[in-house]
Amino acid sequence: MNILFINPFQYLSINKFMHRVFPVANITPAYLASLIPAEHSVQIIDEAKEKIDYSIPADLVCISTITVNAKRAYAIAEKFRKQGKKVILGGSHVSAVPEEAKQYCDAIAIGNAETMMEQIIADTENNNLQPFYHNRIPDSIPQKATGTARSRWQTSILASRGCELNCSFCSSQNVFGKFYLQRKLDSVLRDIENLETKYINFLDDNFYGASATANEYYDQILAALERKRISWLAQVRLPVLTDTVLDKFKASGCAGVLIGFESINSDNSSSVGKKVDVDYFYKEIERIHRKGLGVVGSFIFGFDEDTPETLEKTVDFCISSGMELAAFSVLTPYPGTKSFNDLQSEGRILTTDWNLYDSDKVVFQPKNFTPEQLEAALVRATKRFYSATSIIKRMKFGMNYNTIKLYLLPNLLRKYAMIFR
């Protein structure tokens, strides 16, 4: 049987230049394709890299979705179905709105697709594809699962799946369930040993710190990274970054850490599900910088307690703390999240045009802004943080990263993205 996996693509407008020059490889299609028995022919098309050839022989077309690319996924599915091909949609978006998505395909995989693939393939072979396949929480990551995907400049590696947090704006646990799993250590170490790029982006929701046992696992990964002498980045929770951990990270080639601050407004603590303390943030960023590591901060604008003043203070904080990169987005209530359900019950969802759910557009009625005001505040914040003055002020030398390649170039790309957006 011929099986085709497709990753639909849609640029996020503010970050389009970053996506073109520094594309982050999507691992989902490769991960699922690796679980298909060897007697089947498998092909992957990542639309970020190549055009879709609709004439490819395929007995089953598997399309993964997130909300912003949902309409593109639906269009691709319909085009394949018109050719008589069987199409199944999976991913976070269709898992949250399966009845909507079912209009465009033959079947829906709701939740963790790897727990359903065996049955889906058997049903396709027997011409008995079911309309819905339902989520099970996996008890392990299969030994043969591919955990890497490569772009032209970096390799994405998955070491663990799942997250112990439960943030109101995140669909992960609502759609996929609460679990934390690690890949087999020897598989991860082999991936690192066989690397052909100079940079790694770990895709773990939370790299390091889940437990003492998890840390022993990551310590062996860090040792392998140190031997390989490679530069890497991962998303890490701030409380995990003790001096001891930072020393290990530095020795293993860590260029920086991605931290989901989300907000510096302490009134938003319940919404972000994390401790919010600006003085603490300042001290911790300074400590990370002293160790030579960079900080990439993630922030969300538009919580009910946010005001124009708090957003300005957020940009002040990002610049004065000297963080290397900041990703600003508006609160986007993805279907399947508590945020979406709460806003919908309050009559504040303004549109379900999924193309607008790109983290730049405001799709709900904010409390202290008009939608237009909040979108304008996002643009101002991004332009100010990535202004020439700010870039020069935040630039450092002698860090654990290449200042030109991993600081100046990404900053300039973001700056020029705002000019041509």
Furthest-apart CA atoms within the chain: distance in Å: 64
Residue 400's contacts (CB-CB under 8 Å, 6 or more residues apart) are 250, 253, 254, 255, 256, 291, 292, 293, 294
| pTM of the full structure | 0.89
Q: What is the mean pLDDT of the chain?
A: 90
* pLDDT value of residue 135: 81
Phi, psi of 299 (to 5 degrees): -135, 145
The amino acid at residue 143 is: Q
d(CA 224, CA 231): 12
Q: CB of 42 within 8 A of CB of 388?
A: no
Pick the closest to residue 418 from 311, 326, 324 (CA basis). 326
Percent of the chain beyond pLDDT 90? 74
d(CA 266, CA 167): 15
Q: What is the pLDDT of residues 312-364, one digit of tens each?
A: 999 999 999 999 999 999 999 999 899 999 999 999 999 999 999 999 999 99
Q: What is the 3-state secondary structure (H, E, C) of the chain?
A: CEEEEEECCCCCCCCHHHHHHCCCCCCHHHHHHCCCCCCCEEEEEECCCCCCCCCCCCCEEEEEECHHHHHHHHHHHHHHHHCCCEEEEEEHHHHHCHHHHHHHCCEEECCCHHHCHHHHHHHHHCCCCCCEECCCCCCCCCCCCCCEEECCCCEEECCEEECCCCCCCCCHHHHHCCCEEECCHHHHHHHHHCCCCCEEEECCCCCCCCCHHHHHHHHHHHHHHHHHCCEEEEECCHHHCCHHHHHHHHHCCEEEEEEEEECCCHHHHHHHCCCCCHHHHHHHHHHHHHCCCEEEEEEEECCCCCCHHHHHHHHHHHHHCCCCEEEEEECCCCCCCHHHHHHHHCCCECCCCHHHCCCCCCCECCCCCCHHHHHHHHHHHHHHHCCHHHHHHHCCCCCCCCHHHHHHHHHHHHHHHHHCC
Instruction: Provide long-range contacts, Cβ within 8 A and 24+ apart, for 193-199.
Output: 193/224, 193/228, 195/155, 195/228, 195/230, 196/150, 196/155, 197/150, 197/153, 197/154, 197/155, 198/153, 198/154, 198/230, 198/231, 199/153, 199/154, 199/155, 199/230, 199/231, 199/232, 199/233, 199/255
* Span 120-146, average pLDDT: 92
* pLDDT value of residue 276: 75
Q: CB of 187 within 8 A of CB of 153?
A: no
Is the pLDDT at 164 greater than 70? The verdict is no
d(CA 364, CA 357): 10
Percent of the chain beyond pLDDT 70? 91
Q: What is the pLDDT of residues 221-273, one digit of tens each?
A: 999 999 999 999 999 999 999 999 999 999 999 999 999 999 998 776 556 55
Q: What is the pLDDT of residues 30-54, one digit of tens each?
A: 999 999 999 999 999 988 778 999 9
Most confident of 134-143, 163-172, 241-250: 241-250
* pLDDT value of residue 14: 47
* pLDDT value of residue 417: 80
Q: CB of 375 within 8 A of CB of 330?
A: yes
Q: What is the pLDDT of residues 79-124, one digit of tens each?
A: 999 999 999 999 999 999 999 999 999 999 999 988 999 999 999 9
Q: CB of 301 within 8 A of CB of 331?
A: yes
Please give the residue that has the higher pLDDT: either 137 or 328: 328
d(CA 331, CA 17): 22
